[in-house]
Structure 1
Amino acid sequence: MTLSVTFLGTSGAVPTVERNPSSIYVRREGDAFLFDAGEGTQRQMMRYGTGFDVEAVFLTHVHGDHVLGLPGLVQTWGFHDREAPLDVYTPQGTGDAVRDLITAVGAAPSFRLDVHEVSPGETVLDREAYGIEAFHTEHRTNAVGYALVEDDRTGRFDREHAEELGVPVGPKFSALHAGNPVELEDGTVVEPEQVVGDPRPGRKLVYTGDTRPTDATVAVAEDADLLIHDATFTDDDAERATQTAHSTAGEAGRIAREAGATRLALTHVSSRYGGQLGPLKADAQAEYTGHVTVAHDGLDIDVPYPE
């Protein structure tokens, strides 16, 4: 079951030649989502071949570098005769601004587009095997982060033991793995727990958007397989990070360490650093011994199941 991330934009507020403003494309098997949509997002989608089959857009906040790509993208979908509905999620109190932005230079979309205001702690998308929930972040405006959290998976099926118990190969195997007891020809009943192991955890993907480090991020990112965290500044510019309500790479590393995240991707990199990304990675690694990546536009990360 695929869970992958393509970074479409990894710059801070000011784009650079190498970096577009913020946007992340997430695919979970047949479902596709955008998290933020900075200026030029649609071109990045074409450049990196993600496809346009997005069913929902999740905005962390309505600063321009996170939303100005949305009107053009919506118009392009209209030009392509999109019929599928689109849901846009945005922090509480910002829905009208998003609606005004979408229609600022044109008529309302030709397809159904619903804007939903969300609050921290709310499950904003609830699917059979996973959900997407909003969590508290701390920025200069109403802002949230988002976590895609999969349900636990069924435990491993012990085929060898099932055969030892006399279960014939075939439908009874599937019934047991699905949690149903089966009766053998001699009347013996085999219970699922005899041949199915403990539930296995699903995957967790967490994206903060712009934020100061928060306890809420630590809580929601506990044991996350991938934490994508604001790392606008190096630790040398910590004062500037505080003034602008962003995080340093070291602070992102500390959050990842405290949460026990498996992997950390740093994003929203200030244009002041140009291509000098070594200090950002070093600051994060000074706090966190897991896998650290300074994200760049076009980076693909596949999120595997936990061991």
Structure 2
Amino acid sequence: MSLHVTFLGTGGAVPSVRRNTSALMLRREGDRLLFDCGEGTQRQMMRYGTGFDVSHLFVTHMHGDHTLGIPGLLQTWDFNDREASLAVHVPSGERRAMRRLLDGTGTDTGFPVRINEVGAGDVALEHEEYEVRAFETEHRTRSVGYALVEAARKGRFDRDRAQELGVPVGPKFSTLHDGEAVELDDGTVVRPEQVVGEPRPGRTVVYTGDTRPTEATEQVAAGADLLVHDATFAEADAERAPQTGHSTAREAAELAASAGVARLALVHVSSRYAGRSDVLAEEARERFDEVCLPDDGDELDVPYPDA
């Protein structure tokens, strides 16, 4: 089951030639989930071939570098005769602000657009195999982050052990793997726990949006497979981080280390580091090894923890 991230916009509030404003596409099999939608996101989607079949858009906060791409994207969908509904998730208290953004740009679509407010701890999207949860972040306005958390997977099926117990190859294997006991021709009952291992963990991807390092993020990201965290500033400008509600790359790395994540991606890179953004990765690696500083268009596959 593939879980794939495309970084559509890795820059801060001011776009640069190399980095667009915030947007991230997460693809899980046939599901496409868009997180934030800065100006020009739809062009980034075209450029990097992510596809447009998005049913859920998760907005971390209402600042323009995270939202100004939404009206254009919705209008493009409308011009292309989209019929499927769209759910736009926003922080609690921001439904009216999102409605004003859409109304003020003449965005009156022929397909349903549902604006859903979410607060810390709310499940924004519930799916049979995963859910997207909102968590508290600390910025200069109402804000949340989002975590995609997969359900646990079935344990591994021990085919050899099943055959040793007399289970014939065939449908009874699937029955056991689905958690049901089977009866053999001689009356023997074989139980799932005899041939199926312990449930295996799913994957977790955490996206913070703009934020200071917070205890809530650390808790949500505990053991996550990928943490995508605000890393607006280098240490030379560290005093700006608390003033503006952002993080330094080193702070993001310290949080990643404390949370025990498998991998950290640094985003929302200030345009002041154009041409020298490697300093952010270097400073982060002083605190945490598994760091990447993605460019726009970069992609990551998120493997299972036991892969």
With the length of structure 2 as denominator, give the TM-score of the two structures.
0.99
1:293 corresponding residue in structure 2: 292
1:101 corresponding residue in structure 2: 101
Question: SS where residue 120 of structure 1 aligns?
Answer: coil
Write out aligned runs for 1:278-289 (5 A). Answer: 278-289=278-289
What amino acid maps onto 1:90 in structure 2?
Answer: V
Note the alpha carbon deviations across 1:219-238, whole angstroms, 9 max, x for none.
Answer: 00011000000000012211
Note the alpha carbon deviations across 1:15-59, whole angstroms, 9 max, x for none.
Answer: 001111000011111111110000000000000001100001000
Alpha-carbon distance in structure 1 between the residues aligned to 2:37 and 2:54:
12
| Matched positions, count | 306
Alpha-carbon distance in structure 2 between the residues aligned to 1:285 and 1:170:
51
Q: Report if aligned partners of 2:86, 2:113 keep a CA contact under 8 Å in 1.
A: yes
Alpha-carbon distance in structure 2 between the residues aligned to 1:302 and 1:264:
13
Question: SS where residue 104 of structure 2 aligns?
Answer: coil
Write out aligned runs for 1:4-83 (5 A). Answer: 4-83=4-83
Structure 2: gaps spanning 5 or more residues: none
Task: Please report the RMSD computed on the Cα atoms of aligned residues, expressed in angstroms.
Answer: 0.7
Note the alpha carbon deviations across 1:132-176, whole angstroms, 9 max, x for none.
Answer: 000000000000000000000000000000000000000000000
Structure 1 residues 107 and 132: alpha-carbon distance in aligned structure 2, compared to 1, 3 A threshold: closer
Alpha-carbon distance in structure 2 between the residues aligned to 1:87 and 1:278:
36
Matched, 1:181 2:205: no
Question: SS where residue 300 of structure 2 aligns?
Answer: strand
Q: Report if aligned partners of 1:71, 1:103 keep a CA contact under 8 Å in 2.
A: no
What amino acid maps onto 2:21 in structure 1?
Answer: P
1:118 corresponding residue in structure 2: 118
Matched, 1:273 2:265: no
Percent identity, please. Answer: 62
With the length of structure 1 as denominator, give the TM-score of the two structures.
0.99
2:228 corresponding residue in structure 1: 228
Q: Report if aligned partners of 2:75, 2:107 keep a CA contact under 8 Å in 1.
A: no
Question: SS where residue 287 of structure 1 aligns?
Answer: coil
Note the alpha carbon deviations across 1:228-269, whole angstroms, 9 max, x for none.
Answer: 000000122110111111000000001110110000000000
What amino acid maps onto 1:112 in structure 2?
Answer: P
Deviation at 1:107, TM superposition (A): 4.8
Alpha-carbon distance in structure 1 between the residues aligned to 2:216 and 2:275:
31
| Over 4 Å off, 4+ runs | none
Q: Report if aligned partners of 2:62, 2:94 keep a CA contact under 8 Å in 1.
A: yes
Q: Report if aligned partners of 2:22, 2:65 keep a CA contact under 8 Å in 1.
A: yes
Deviation at 1:272, TM superposition (A): 0.4
Q: Which moved more, 1:193-202 or 1:276-285?
A: 276-285
What amino acid maps onto 1:298 in structure 2?
Answer: G
Alpha-carbon distance in structure 2 between the residues aligned to 1:27 and 1:105:
29
Deviation at 1:103, TM superposition (A): 2.2
